[in-house]
Structure 1
Amino acid sequence: MDRADGLAHYRKRFAGAETDLVYFDGNSLGRPPLSAIERMGDFMRDGWGERLIRGWDEAWLQLPVEIGDRIGRAVIEAKAGQTVIGDSTTVLLYKLARAAVDAQVARDPRRREIVVDTDNFPTDRYVLDGIANERGMKLRWIDVDISTGVSPEQLAEAVGPETALVVVSHVAYRSAYLADAPELTRIAHDAGALILWDLCHSAGSVPVRADAWGFDLAVGCTYKYLNGGPGSPAFAYVRDDLQAVITQPIQGWFGTRDMFAMGPDYEPEPSIRRFLSGTSPIVGMLPMEETLAMIEEAGMPALRAKSVALTSFAITLADDWLGPLGVTLASPAESEERGGHVTLHHPAMREVTARLWQRDVIPDYRDPGGLRIGLSPLSTSFEEVHRGLAATRDVLKTVLLERAGLA
């Protein structure tokens, strides 16, 4: 399978890929590209060390939009001027969600509900709860099965004339359920609501067509499949016709029309830059450009095909090796309903995860009893998946024997 893999040659471009360590957590923190390590050294010595403050005028002020446009073009199929690199995922979620509900209430005071599912990522739920409390609004919860996610039927039942905003993850963080983004967007729009997509687990793994699918707003992180590094800044997408309609709530000087005028009043920049606030995190932006170059070269369709092959292979091995030990699949079995990771369920998985880490096999664990296997299509090999699932089988057998008093 590795010999037949048209993307196999990218693996050698990542630090640590030559070692025996099995990395099953690329959907939480991607491996660093070797070129990013070299680039950061060059930046520290030349870009920062030599150019100093001149770097802002020469290049850095434009980076949030330039890199945002690259993400728009290569990763989420959005035309230029709609995507920007900004703050953390949490802060950008707050900015866009708060701006959206304020605009909706101003348009129609009845729209005082935010629709979100019970298994959305914690930061999404926490941010929306805070906004609802701030603005005197109500959360309408969609109760979902944690092995799947929000269906069109569930959303259609939840939205109505009081809905201001819908927030959905394109790929569910726990199960990897791949939401029907165009259909859910249509349902939200038919109800007069705006929709904000969380792309954290899909950007760089699953094709996204933000413009064609009619997205209003989206936020995605860059430290998973885009390999930006720990805490690298998130990106925000705001459809061009909405940019002058919604007002972002954190008014900072980087989002002003003339930031160096430093005038007495806040006057927002008319472009996507209006969604910036404070000084842009330049150091955190640079590594992701190396992975963006690979995505531009390979293309998202090829990455998706490799991702499907990897997750399907993992499921086949899990069925053969782990099914007889009581492990069940906690992700969609059909590839068209599954993102870039696979979750395997067994009550012993917390202990199995801890022991695998001691053996340099690195998945992660999600309650209840979920071993989550994140497979990055640029840096993961099929042989690596085979070794990792074999180790999981052996460790689980040992744990079960010990619990039965037979080892």
Structure 2
Amino acid sequence: MTDFASTKALFHLPEGVIYLDGNSLGPLPRAAAARVQHRVQEEWGELLITGWNKAGWMAEPGVLGNRIGRLIGAEPGHVVLGDTLSIKVYQALAAALEMRPERRVILSDSGNFPSDLYMAEGLIKALGRGHELRVVAPQEVAGAITDEVAVTLLTEVDYRTGRLHDMAEITRRAQDAGALTIWDLAHSAGALPVDLVGCGADFAVGCTYKYLNGGPGAPAFIYVAPRHATCAAPALSGWLGHAAPFAFEAAYRPGEGIERMRVGTPPVLAMAALEAALDIWEGVDLTDIRAQSIALGEMFIAEVEVRCPMLTLASPRDPSARGSQVSFQFEHGYAAMQALIAQGVIGDFRAPDLMRFGFAPLYIDTEDVKEAARRLAHVMQNRLWGDPVYQARATVT
């Protein structure tokens, strides 16, 4: 059994703050600052450019990729780290379309994160081959998979409501129809068990700054199934995806396997923070994470529905049908969330009216949940959200 009291002690959490926004940005692992400082002073400072070899900087995207791969049910050697999630979506989507040249439809859903859809729109425009981005309601995805579809592009957990797609079933349906699958694991990796191998997924991408606690701007990752590793064409033919970067050849040759999905220079300082965060996962069982996050979410829903009848549950009622977050609808949700943050409970808001709360058992416990519900009730029952100071919109919501 995972000792969640021990894992909580491994994070820096400001005094008096209950942090329910790890689904947007994970908190600071206590070991991260020292790890980054070591990389800056002892590696960059003392080794200078020799750190690429002596400190293993160049190999680290694959090393960390394997550590993430263990958390998402991937085969060793088929996950690599680097760049941003949008870049990885673009790479996976371009490769999938190249593998299905006779088909023109990219199937996604209206609950997908907008950036994924933006990348699809941009790629379609760049290719100029008449591809179509077909967006349906989340519950209609399975029925919309036809022989026109080249690839499904789906985020497993809906960023707004936490609704959870059935990865195994949708992957089966897509592949039976001759389509490929891309799974965005931004709200899955570190939040619930993922079995890419068992589901037969073709491609997967994800970020490391949410449940994996890699820090703001932490690099993304990409998975390519072994059966596609030598034929997936990297649309972004970056220097570090070359078969021999330091041969400095004039023409591009893709690297072997997942290495071809590398693009730019590894973010060496950011990887140090992520490395410290991933150390915490060495003693964690994801089935325990899932069970505890469900328990915490159920407790929060029960408390809020008793104390705050003006809030409407927007997440699936069935905990097995949602990820590790709970969302409530409220007309003045933005202002209410700002008032709640002022009371020391940090969640976030998604337009037009959703208040989101994430439940990461690594650092959230039952007492946190009870106290968060109490403070939320104080905000709602006293209409603190009506104060104009909470209604001025900030850039990040």
Structure-1-length-normalised TM-score: 0.91
TM-superposed deviation, 1:267:
0.9
In 1, Cα distance between the equivalents of 2:114 and 2:385?
35
- Aligned residues with identical type, % of pairs: 36
Aligned residues: 384
Give the corresponding residue for 2:381: 397
Instruction: Give 1:168's match in structure 2, choosing from 139, 150, 154.
Output: 154
Give the corresponding residue for 1:138: 132
In 1, Cα distance between the equivalents of 2:149 and 2:2?
46
TM-superposed deviation, 1:175:
0.6
Instruction: Give 2:232's match in structure 1, choosing from 237, 246, 249.
Output: 246
- Equivalent residue runs for 1:6-405 within 5 Å: 6-16=3-13, 19-58=15-54, 59-73=56-70, 75-105=71-101, 109=102, 111-135=103-127, 136-142=130-136, 144=137, 150-151=138-139, 154-323=140-309, 326-399=310-383
Unpaired runs of 5+ residues, structure 2, are 388-397
Q: What RMSD over aligned residues (CA atoms) do the two structures have, in Å?
A: 1.6
* Residue identity opposite 1:9 in structure 2: S
In 1, Cα distance between the equivalents of 2:276 and 2:302?
32
In 2, Cα distance between the equivalents of 1:288 and 1:402?
40
SS of 2:198 mapped into structure 1: coil
What's the CA shift string for 1:375-398, capped at 9, x where partnerless? Answer: 212111221222222111111122
TM-superposed deviation, 1:23:
1.0
Structure-2-length-normalised TM-score: 0.93
Matched-pair contact (CA < 8 Å) for 1:36–1:287: yes
In 1, Cα distance between the equivalents of 2:385 and 2:293?
34
TM-superposed deviation, 1:156:
3.3
Unpaired runs of 5+ residues, structure 1, are 145-149
What's the CA shift string for 1:189-247, capped at 9, x where partnerless? Answer: 01101010010001001100011110100101000011110010001000011011121
What's the CA shift string for 1:69-93, capped at 9, x where partnerless? Answer: 11111x1011111100021001110
In 2, Cα distance between the equivalents of 1:402 and 1:282?
45
TM-superposed deviation, 1:402:
5.8
* Residue identity opposite 1:86 in structure 2: G
Matched-pair contact (CA < 8 Å) for 1:205–1:377: no
TM-superposed deviation, 1:360:
2.5
Q: Call closer, same or farther: CA 1:264–1:339 in 2, change over 3 Å.
A: same
TM-superposed deviation, 1:121:
0.4
Matched-pair contact (CA < 8 Å) for 2:333–2:349: yes
In 2, Cα distance between the equivalents of 1:384 and 1:363?
13
* Residue identity opposite 1:128 in structure 2: A
What's the CA shift string for 1:14-68, capped at 9, x where partnerless? Answer: 1125x11111111000001101111111111101111111111120111000100
* Residue identity opposite 1:132 in structure 2: I
What's the CA shift string for 1:328-370, capped at 9, x where partnerless? Answer: 1100111111111100111122111111222222110112321
SS of 1:223 mapped into structure 2: coil
